[in-house]
Structure 1
């Protein structure tokens, strides 16, 4: 990288192929050259690439291959990624980047790729991009992976008055001399300005060197011209006629998903739990525009994708993530499997610190549980947790799988067996399903399987809901818990005897749940 500047060859329109050794090759398409320095901002770089091919700024993605690893595509999406890209190529005079829109092209020679993959090697291993699951439900409501549950609309919150969160958009465009850091920033400002004032605009004679906007109404003289300042990324308004003759403000304004995203993006940086109803209230107050819940929610999803990257693109990073876990946490486990079509199937992670803590600071007791993920592509989270010396939950290992199935549970237990080298017999607390018992006895032949009291209680509620009154069910639950905690067989029999007097059906149900797996008296 001579003189602190790297020549970057931007390629687009071609295709990737996978070579016999697992490396990726790119051929075809068009190429443009530009340069990067340590001071280059990602937004400026992306805006320049957008102008090269007239791509939509928000749909393109930029990727590159590491100098010594031609198997994994790395995404550039932040200023920090720019600095890493330059660091990786500091000994090179030039480097290639690949511009993809609307999504990264898959390797064209699919038959040359492995049918499935299990990755628990270092980053230099032969890994290639991984696709998102193929059996998700795209038409259902989609919630961000890391969004808390209070992201859902709350009936009480919906009626509360919020303090102003979105500043007025009417002054986004102030006149001649106003300067914008990037073309993207100028475009977003104009979107908000036209929305606030109630008119539509069109871009004419605009390119990477100048930005020219006119009112879309025929004969209206409103316009401005903002050329790019030479040797910089700045755009400055040089000429402007701020007079409208089209009845500005009479047009019923509407907000696109993209525009709502640009409005709320700043807010989401500081307040990730910004709710759709809050957006609706704020935009109504500040801009006089009515949004429905779907528009507000869509704006949040689009803004989070701009800030954090898309869910689909993130799946391509899983091989790199697995390698980094092993590289930076020696003694850990990170196992990644794909389906035959290279879409995501399973990933298992157990950090060395967690394994060491369990084996040296916890009782040989593991709780197995699962929960459904609310991300775009769904999935199930499996966990194996213990209790530390303070009776606080201690995570030992976890896995994410595409679907909840007995095969995936069995696979999770097999991976857990490989990372646990304890001589004491382990007691597992898990669901009482027959399939779970069979898998545990096969993978851990000397283990004890205790049933989860909470899950049993929920089953009891479902079993007798409707046939018994709520008050009676509460008494049954109380006696059921007393039976579970009773330290002697006599105490256990007394509690279930009370249950029998209340409901013979409930008594039979208790006996069928195999008390030897959940009652202290027989533990």
Structure 2
């Protein structure tokens, strides 16, 4: 038999009066407490009861939780249920959970990049970022951008990315990342930053007259943006003809399915640059000078402030989608009426 509501009250030791703590119109916790040792006392109910305590005292002991339920409710709670309830309460207040959950509502497009740290111990900060309002999903500290470090990062990332979404990753062709990607995400589409390709091409053209060098680099961009196979190959042959052996050597083995729109089978939503990754690196620019523990805490605090600010803004919206896209949608509707 289903429940339509639930009431959470508590007896005060001093006068034995019951005080109403919360009232839920729709009962959802699935718990029916009848005896002091009822096994149906769920960890969700424990999490709900102790959430404020865990928020105020992060190092709350499980024995304290068990004592609370015994003293206030006359219930005996198992160690496992107590531990699980506290873990759920900690997870609910964890700043990075908002990143993981929020990504479900962003485009399934992640920008991967590593940026060097400037503190005493150096190292690299590996990050996965969404361009939707500069939304950080995950980051990690490593000693280098090696294959093993990228593998560890991607493995942990795979735990929080839904399997039912057709994901696309975009990166700067880092060698360690290229080796790690097929192992962690064998079926995911992987695009490369056009800016990084242009910089590599520019290095191959050293000593060439600047005007002609930039002409060839623009031709490479034209190849990347071209949407049709016929157009792509025509532009590619023109690039090889103009750039001769240097262009031919650079393009040799450069798989177009990773950088050319005509061959790319994933969905990049028009994104072919590294703007999101560069914006994230600039966002944490000052934190990169700190020690590792201070850096992580600073980034965590920045994320919390960002989430709070966006929450306050969103609460003032009067439409289903954000005002910017509401305006774009209305403008598109009006321009297409004829």
TM-score calculated relative to the size of structure 2 = 0.49
Whose RCO is larger (CA < 8 A, sep 6+)?
Answer: 2
Larger strand fraction of residues? 1
Bigger helix fraction: 2
Q: TM-score, normalised by structure 1?
A: 0.33
